[in-house]
């Protein structure tokens, strides 16, 4: 449970106590709708039974039974269990990782408990909870509004009516009415607050809500196939078809030449098992799911797995300034009023008289218990410097608020004092907006403009403050209708996050552009950009943006990295222009109006701390700590995941060549058969964990963030890589075949030759794993790079190989003859020889100096 920042303007409301809430939760259950069926272990196992590998093993077992080979059949049965075991284990791991993510990124609610506002998961809301609703929130449960301001809710989910309905507070309402209709006090679970704010008391949760009654679930992004997964599935299908064809050829060829149908079918099944690259889809699922889980530990929650692939290909990071690059920890550090400045320092104890009015009106133009970091900063200064003077108006009451809008970056509060005949109006906002409200002449505007420019040049956010009076009675619809007098300027200091300059540098080295999009003043934006190290020669303002045509904008965004005074709905244009230039755009956002741009960007990241529910729903990721360097780290992880997928795939291609080759060659060339289903199953037991665990855990390459981004449309299985890994496999095949054919010439029996060749194959397989850990560094250089899984798999493989060779019962099933020490030595040398060329190639490429990796 995280504590929300600051107290709310809720005064007397205490809400439930923690204990009451816990009791209710236990009695009435979680506030959630029954989700789709969860996959059980049994379900996963049943699915594993449909896997081709399993079917082939079973078919082979059946053949053994028909020819009366019970031992072999039992052996295969054993393998079947192990294969299912591994599958279930892997799937369970994936399922758990995804589940954990889902609950982390599920909707949240702001409730008042024990008199304090707290953010909790939406599913923990109970009847009687007091929830705080603000623009961009989803209503967590059916509730009655206790108090609200301008509260507009989109109830189309329940009513189909897309026009938002207005809510008014209701007194002592016993039961919830039906959805639809303006000016009612009810809000419903799943509906969206589009404007205003309010507090409401929960009456129904879970399936008892309106949405629960109609049995409709909110659209959560379900498990969808990534382009990568589809690419892989196509590949696997192609191989499966080819495998079937080859299998039939082998069965026919074998049976015709050697006249034994049973053995022919067995050889065919062996080949089919050897050919199907069933590991590839497994690798993708596991790497993406576990990658998402890894990122969650570094504050980035994945909502859409497919975006992880795009993450590694990002070329532009388009980020907010406030909160992302800066800490959003504002302090009011400089005041300007009537021609003089005042710097507020640590040691300031009191405020000179001329600035009292400025601070007083700043307070009046803020919430009394503020949320906004600027307003909190104003409040802090008031408490520190003004508490003992007469400028506090506890007995005043607020009559109306005029909100900030995209047309006018200023807000006003209308106040009523008990002893005055007129309303007092306080306004604060962007300096230009305030100047405008004060109807200043050009001369005064430019005089004050220079002061604003100077303050902003120091990186301060500058806010203007003004006041007006208005006779009591009906209030005008627009802030422009008051006659404002200018009071002064406030300068807020918002420190840069200390990690940002380093992270920006990392981006530049990695070939990424960093673009700042902010609603703040250009000079402020420029100063912060400089501090962050963002290249900033030119700035485009929101106003300038309106002047540009789409084509002009497309040209300008190639070089401009700072956008200032931009309102959220202009972000979409910037994102679109960047995308049209072929960039892969990552964008951060928090507000309701950011949602379209977040959806449109290749990768949308919602701010977890400040972000609204709407922004989260539109995003692929949620950033828990709002920190820019976490984004850069996520990109880094994305690149690592892609690298590791490539490594695993390269290995998978390579290892299948000798296995398939040694299943096929003996049949075609009339050699004694070397591999039987048991051998393939044995090899699979090494290959599977290698793919799913060893390569997944492989640490990142040294140059992950030193090379340009990979193209988004570049296939993972690119031709050059596939060709090189097939070549690796061919070399291993050549050597294993040589060992297998030479052994009889040196007087070894068929079964000894099989043991020799198989041992060479297993060792060469390990060699392939080691060499494919990195395509830039040699095995020797990689020794120091820890990968515990690799150690275990290697030891396990050697251990079981030893068993198969030297436990007589197993040796007879595997049809192995005895191996002597010299034989083992031959195997080791042969397997090392099979990967040596690739190691040499790494060195040659590096000495050539043209590229960092093969
Ligand atoms: P950013 O992109 O830095 O988050 P915003 O879009 O939040 O900027 O704000 C844009 C501008 O609107 C600010 O520079 C300020 O001039 C004005 N503004 C924002 N919030 C307030 C507020 N609470 N009171 C007065 N002015 C505000
Ligand atoms: Mg903002």
Give per-residue pLDDT as tens, 718-738. Answer: 788 889 999 999 999 999 999
95-153 pLDDT, tens digit per residue, is 888 777 777 777 889 999 998 888 898 889 999 999 999 888 889 999 999 988 889 99
Give residue 6's pLDDT.
34
Separation of alpha carbons 832 and 822, rounded Å: 15
Q: How far is the CA of 302 from the centre of ligand 2 (A)?
A: 23
pLDDT at 391 over 80: no
pLDDT, position 731: 97
Cα–Cα dist 307/39, whole Å: 24
What number of other Cβ atoms are within 10 A of residue 96's Cβ?
12
| Ligand 1 center to 462 CA (angstroms) | 10
What domains, with CATH codes, occur in the chain?
A: 18-30+110-213 (2.70.150.10), 44-95+224-298+633-848 (1.20.1110.10), 300-326+497-626 (3.40.50.1000), 331-493 (3.40.1110.10)
The residue whose CA has the least distance to atom 27 of ligand 1 is 429
Can you give the pLDDT at residue 143? 93
How many angstroms is it from 566 CA to the middle of ligand 1? 10
pLDDT at 590 over 70: yes
User: Ligand 1: which atom is nearest the Cα of residue 524?
Assistant: 14
Q: What value, to the nearest 5°, has the Cα angle with vertex 781 and ends 778 and 787?
A: 100
CA of 328 to the centre of ligand 2 (A): 10
pLDDT score for 218:
46
Q: What pLDDT score does 1 carry?
A: 30
**Residue 411, Cβ neighbours under 10 Å: how many?**
18
For residues 752-779, average pLDDT: 94
Q: How many CB atoms lie within 10 A of CB 771?
A: 24
Q: Which of 600, 583, 588 is nearest to 511 (CA)?
A: 583
Q: How far is the CA of 503 from the centre of ligand 2 (A)?
A: 21
pLDDT for 216: 54
- Which helix or strand (DSSP H or E) is residue 112 part of? strand 108-113
Q: What pLDDT shows up at residue 69? A: 86
Residue 426 has pLDDT above 60, yes or no: yes
| Per-residue pLDDT reduced to its tens digit, 354-377 | 899 999 999 999 987 777 889 999
Counting ligands in written order, the one closest to the CA of 409 is: 1
pLDDT greater than 70 at residue 716: yes
CA-proximal residue: ligand 1, atom 18 (nearest): 429
* Confidence class for position 413, pLDDT limits 50, 70, 90: very high
374 CA → ligand 1 middle, Å: 9
pLDDT for the residue numbered 21: 92
Q: Is pLDDT at 159 greater than 80 in this prediction?
A: yes
519 CA to middle of ligand 1, Å?
6
How many Å lie between the centroid of ligand 2 and the Cα of residue 520? Answer: 8
Ligand nearest to the CA of 375: 1
Q: What is the pLDDT of residue 849?
A: 63
Mutational pocket test of ligand 1: of 461, 519, 590, the residue with most ligand atoms within 8 Å of the beta carbon: 519
Closest ligand 1 atom, residue 321 Cα: 3
Which atom of ligand 1 is least distant from the CA of 428?
25
Q: Which residue has a Cα nearest atom 25 of ligand 1?
A: 429
**What residue ranges line ligand 1, CB within 6 angstroms?**
320-322, 372, 374-375, 404, 409, 411, 428-430, 461, 463, 518-521
Nearest ligand to the CA of 330 is: 1
> Above pLDDT 90, what percent of the chain?
52
pLDDT exceeds 80 at position 605: yes
* Secondary structure, 3-state, 388-443: CCCCCCCCCEEEEEECCCCCCCEEEEEEECCCCCEEEEEEEECHHHHHHHCCCCHH
Which amino acid residue places its CA nearest to atom 5 of ligand 1? 519
User: Residue 230 belongs to what H/E stretch?
Assistant: helix 227-258
Better-predicted residue by pLDDT, 459 or 53: 459
Tell which residue, 383, 433, 389, has the closest CA to residue 412: 433
Nearest to 413 by CA among 471, 359, 358, 467: 467
pLDDT band at 854 (very low <50, low <70, confident <90, very high): low
In angstroms, the CA 107 to CA 33 distance is 13
Residue 222 confidence (pLDDT) above 70: no
What is the tens place of the pLDDT at every residue in 677-707? Answer: 999 999 988 888 888 889 999 999 888 999 9
Q: Report residue 563's pLDDT band, with 50, 70 and 90 as the boundaries.
A: very high
Residue 822 has pLDDT above 50, yes or no: yes
For strands 331-337 and 485-493, give the pairing.
Answer: antiparallel
Q: What confidence score (pLDDT) does residue 10 get?
A: 59
The more confident residue out of 303 and 551 is 551
* Ligand 1 atom having least distance to the Cα of 518: 2
The number of beta carbons lying within 10 Å of the beta carbon of residue 560 is 18
Name the residue of 362, 426, 430, 526 whose CB sits within 8 Å of the most ligand 1 atoms, as the mutation to test its pocket.
430
Pick the catalytic residue from 129, 154, 320, 627.
320
Query: Is-contact 631 587, C-beta < 8 A?
Result: no
- pLDDT at res. 229: 73
Per-residue pLDDT at 3 exceeds 50: no
Q: What is the pLDDT of residue 839?
A: 94
Q: Which ligand is nearest to the CA of 431?
A: 1
* 63-102 confidence digits (pLDDT tens): 898 888 888 898 888 888 887 888 888 888 888 887 777 7
State yes or no: pLDDT of 609 exceeds 60. Answer: yes
Closest ligand to 433 CA?
A: 1
Nearest CA to ligand 1 atom 24: 429
CA angle 837, 843, 846 (to 5 degrees): 140
Instruction: Return the ligand 1 atom nearest residue 565 CA.
Output: 10
| Residue among 520, 525, 566 whose CB has most ligand 1 atoms within 8 A, to mutate | 520
Q: What is the pLDDT at residue 2?
A: 31
pLDDT of 15 reads: 87
Cα–ligand 2 centroid distance for 462 (angstroms):
14
The yes-or-no verdict on residue 207 having pLDDT over 70 is yes
pLDDT per position as a tens digit, 773-797: 998 889 999 988 889 999 999 999 9
| Mean pLDDT across 230-235 | 77
Expressed in angstroms and rounded, the spacing between residue 519 Cα and the centre of ligand 2 is: 7
Q: Do the beta carbons of residue 466 and residue 436 sit within 8 Å? A: no
Distance 526 CA to ligand 2 centre (A): 17
Closest atom of ligand 1 to CA, residue 461: 14
Rounded average pLDDT over 197-219: 79
pTM: 0.86
* Residue 52 clears pLDDT 80, i.e. is over it: no
Active site residue 320: yes
| In the predicted structure, residue 464 carries a pLDDT above the cut 90 | yes
Give the pLDDT band of residue 4 (cuts 50, 70, 90).
very low
Phi, psi angles (nearest 5°) of residue 261? -65, -45
Q: Residue 7: is its pLDDT beyond 60?
A: no
Query: Does residue 443 carry a pLDDT above 70?
Result: yes
Tens digit of each residue's pLDDT (9 = 90 or more) over 269-278: 999 888 887 7
Give the span between the Cα atoms of 421 and 457, in whole angstroms: 42
Task: Pick from 404, 487, 496, 611 the residue to mutate for probing ligand 1's pocket: most ligand atoms within 8 Å of its CB.
Answer: 404
Protein residue closest via CA to atom 7 of ligand 1 = 519
Nearest-angstrom CA–CA distance, 610 and 615: 10
Q: Is the pLDDT of residue 219 over 60?
A: no
* Count of CB atoms situated within 10 Å of the CB of 23: 13
Residue 462 in this model has a pLDDT that exceeds 90: yes
Residue nearest (by alpha carbon) to ligand 1 atom 12? 409
**What residue's CA is closest to ligand 1, atom 23?**
372
CA dist., res. 675 & res. 664, Å (int): 9
Which atom of ligand 1 is nearest the CA belonging to 517? 2
Of 409, 428, 591, the one to substitute when testing ligand 1's pocket (max ligand atoms within 8 A of C-beta) is: 409
Ligand nearest to the CA of 452: 1
> CA 363 → CA 57, 367, 413, 659, 814, distances in Å?
77, 8, 10, 77, 85
Read off the pLDDT of each residue in 183-187 and give the average, rounded to a whole number: 90
| Local structure of residue 33 (DSSP, 8 states) | -
Token pair recorded at residue 346: 């640590």
Mean pLDDT of the chain: 88
CA of 612 to the centre of ligand 2 (A): 12
Closest atom, ligand 1, to C-alpha of 323? 4
Is residue 612 pLDDT above 50, yes or no? yes
Question: At residue 41, does pLDDT exceed 80?
Answer: no
Q: How confident is the model over 12-22, as a mean pLDDT?
A: 88
Closest C-alpha residue for ligand 1 atom 4: 322
Answer yes or no: is pLDDT of 170 > 90.
no
Any idea which ligand is nearest the CA of 564?
1
Q: For residue 281, what pLDDT band results from cuts at 50, 70 and 90?
A: confident
Rounded Cα–Cα distance for residues 854 and 52 (Å): 34
Q: What is the pLDDT of residue 14?
A: 84
Task: Report the pLDDT value the prediction gives residue 85, as an integer from 0 to 100.
Answer: 85
Query: Quick one: which atom of ligand 1 is closest to the CA of 463?
Result: 16
**Under 8 Å between Cβ of 520 and 565:** yes
């Amino acid at each position: 449970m995280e504590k929300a920042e600051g107290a709310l303007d809720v005064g007397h409301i205490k809400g439930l106590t923690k204990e009451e809430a816990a009791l209710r939760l236990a009695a009435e259950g979680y506030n959630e709708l029954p989700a789709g069926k969860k996959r059980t272990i049994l379900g996963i196992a049943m699915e594993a039974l449909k896997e081709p590998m399993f079917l082939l093993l079973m078919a082979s077992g059946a053949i053994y039974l028909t020819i009366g080979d019970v031992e072999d059949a039992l052996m295969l049965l054993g393998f079947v269990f192990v294969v299912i075991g591994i599958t279930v284990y892997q799937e369970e791991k994936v399922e758990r990782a995804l589940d954990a993510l889902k609950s982390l990124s599920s909707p949240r609610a702001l409730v008042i408990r024990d008199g304090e506002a707290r953010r909790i998961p939406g599913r923990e809301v109970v009847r009687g909870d007091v929830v705080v609703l603000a623009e961009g929130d989803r209503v967590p449960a059916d509730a009655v509004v206790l108090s609200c301001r301008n509260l507009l809710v989109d109830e189309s989910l329940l009513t189909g009516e897309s026009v938002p309905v207005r809510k008014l507070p209701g007194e002592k309402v016993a039961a919830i009415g039906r959805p639809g209709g303006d000016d009612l006090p009810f809000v419903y679970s799943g509906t969206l607050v589009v404007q205003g704010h309010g507090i409401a008391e929960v009456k129904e949760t879970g399936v008892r809500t309106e949405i629960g009654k109609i049995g409709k679930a909110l659209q959560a992004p379900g498990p969808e196939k990534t382009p990568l997964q589809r690419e892989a599935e196509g590949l696997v299908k192609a191989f499966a078809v080819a495998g079937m064809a080859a299998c039939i050829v082998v069965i026919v060829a074998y049976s015709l030449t050697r006249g034994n149908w049973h053995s022919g079918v067995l050889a065919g099944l062996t080949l089919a098992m050897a050919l199907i690259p069933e590991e590839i889809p497994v690798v993708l699922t596991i790497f993406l799911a576990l990658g998402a889980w890894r990122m969650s530990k570094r504050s980035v929650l994945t909502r859409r797995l497919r975006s992880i692939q795009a993450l590694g290909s990002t070329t532009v990071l388009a980020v907010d300034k406030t909160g992302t690059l800066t800490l959003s920890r504002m302090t009011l550090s400089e005041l300007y009023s009537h021609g003089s400045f005042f710097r507020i320092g640590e040691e300031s104890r009191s405020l000179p008289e001329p600035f009292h009015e400025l601070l007083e009106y700043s307070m009046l133009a803020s919430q009394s218990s503020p949320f906004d970091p600027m307003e909190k900063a104003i409040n802090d200064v008031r408490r520190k410097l003004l508490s003992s003077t007469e400028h506090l108006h506890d007995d005043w009451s607020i009559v109306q608020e005029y909100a900030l809008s995209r047309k006018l970056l200023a807000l006003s509060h209308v106040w009523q004092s008990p002893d005055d005949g007129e309303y007092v109006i306080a306004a604060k906002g962007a300096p230009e907006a305030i100047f405008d409200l004060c109807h200043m002449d050009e001369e005064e505007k430019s005089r004050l403009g220079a002061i604003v420019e100077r303050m902003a040049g120091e990186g301060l956010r500058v806010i203007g403050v003004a006041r007006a009076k208005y006779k009591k009675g009906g209030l005008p619809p627009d802030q422009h209708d008051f006659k404002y007098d200018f009071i002064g300027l406030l300068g807020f200091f918002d420190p840069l996050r200390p990690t940002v300059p380093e992270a920006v540098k990392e981006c530049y080295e990695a070939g990424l552009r960093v673009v700042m999009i902010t609603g703040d003043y250009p000079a402020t934006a420029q100063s912060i950009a400089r501090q962050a190290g963002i290249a900033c020669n030119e700035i485009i303002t929101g106003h300038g943006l309106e002047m540009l045509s789409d084509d002009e904008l497309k040209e300008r965004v190639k070089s401009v990295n700072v956008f200032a005074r931009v309102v959220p709905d202009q972000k979409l244009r910037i994102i679109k222009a960047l995308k049209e230039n072929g960039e892969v755009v990552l964008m951060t956002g928090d507000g309701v109006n950011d949602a379209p741009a977040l959806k449109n960007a290749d990768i949308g990241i919602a701010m977890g701390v400040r972000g609204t529910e709407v922004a989260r729903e539109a995003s692929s990721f949620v950033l828990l700590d709002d920190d820019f360097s976490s984004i850069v780290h996520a990109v880094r992880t994305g690149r690592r995941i892609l690298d590791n997928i490539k490594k695993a795939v390269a290995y998978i291609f390579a290892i299948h060549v000798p296995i398939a080759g040694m299943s096929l060659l003996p049949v075609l060339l009339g050699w004694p058969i070397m591999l039987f289903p048991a051998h393939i199953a044995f090899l699979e037991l090494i290959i599977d964990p290698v793919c799913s665990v060893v390569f997944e855990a492989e640490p990142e390459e040294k140059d992950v963030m030193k090379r340009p981004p990979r193209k988004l449309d570049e296939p993972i299985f690119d031709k050059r890589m596939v060709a090189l890994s097939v070549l690796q496999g061919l070399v291993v095949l050549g050597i294993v075949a040589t060992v297998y054919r030479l052994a009889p010439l040196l007087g070894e029996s068929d079964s000894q030759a099989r043991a020799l060749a198989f041992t060479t194959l297993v060792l060469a397989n390990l060699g392939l794993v080691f060499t494919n850990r990195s395509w830039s560094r040699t095995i020797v250089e990689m020794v120091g790079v820890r990968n515990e899984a690799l150690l275990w798999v290697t030891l396990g493989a050697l251990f079981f190989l030893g068993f198969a060779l030297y436990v007589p019962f197993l040796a007879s099933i595997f049809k192995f003859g005895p191996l002597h020490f010299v034989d083992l030595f031959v195997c080791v040398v042969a397997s090392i020889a099979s990967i040596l060329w690739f190691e040499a190639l790494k060195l040659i490429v590096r000495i050539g100096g043209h590229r960092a990796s093969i």
